[in-house]
Amino acid sequence: MMTVDELDTRILRLLLEQPRTSVREYARTLGVARGTLQARLDRMERDGVITGTGPSLSPAALGHPVLAFVHIEVTQGHLDDVGDALAAVPEIVEAFSITGGGDLLARVVGRDNAHLEDVIQKLISLPGVVRTRTEVALRERVPHRLLPLIESLGRAGRA
């Protein structure tokens, strides 16, 4: 685990708030040398803190406004096979191995409820899938975010 200091926190905040700004502009805004900023960015990428630089996309704006969380129970010994099969389903935007009720949890999007049902039927038919349980999201209450976490780490580093 990498320790995030105050400058790292300021860099990460800028990356999140102004993702299309140049490294030169970030350095100017932060009052640090471009080489210092680039070295910090390189280190955070190497350490896995920064995992991508692409845009965030909205499945809803792409015609898939229905969001569901699908718990998938898998036949013992078939977790990897089912995980690989899930990767081939485009409506699955992410999936995790979990503890508790089920073996996998997938975030699934659909054009509408009927399309979501079709996707779930596809999942049920995958070899190794025993059963699924689906929870449809009604409204996003806290959007995906990391800035509060980053800021809390920066505060902890100063304490």
Could you read off the pLDDT of 83-108 as tens digits, one per residue?
999 999 999 999 999 998 889 999 99
**Residue ranges, CATH 1.10.10.10, the chain:** 6-55
Coil, strand, or helix at residue 22? Answer: coil
pLDDT in the model for residue 150: 87
- Give, in words, the CATH class of 59-137: alpha beta
pLDDT at 114 over 80: yes
The matching CATH number, chosen from 3.30.565.10, 1.10.3720.10, 3.40.50.150, 1.10.10.10, for 6-55 is 1.10.10.10
Q: How confident is the model at residue 10 (pLDDT cuts 50, 70, 90)?
A: very high
Do residues 131 and 73 make contact, with C-beta atoms less than 8 angstroms apart? yes
With CA atoms as reference, report the closest residue to 68 among 34, 109, 35: 109
Distances (CA, A) of 79 to 82, 135, 151: 5, 21, 36
pLDDT in the model for residue 1: 67
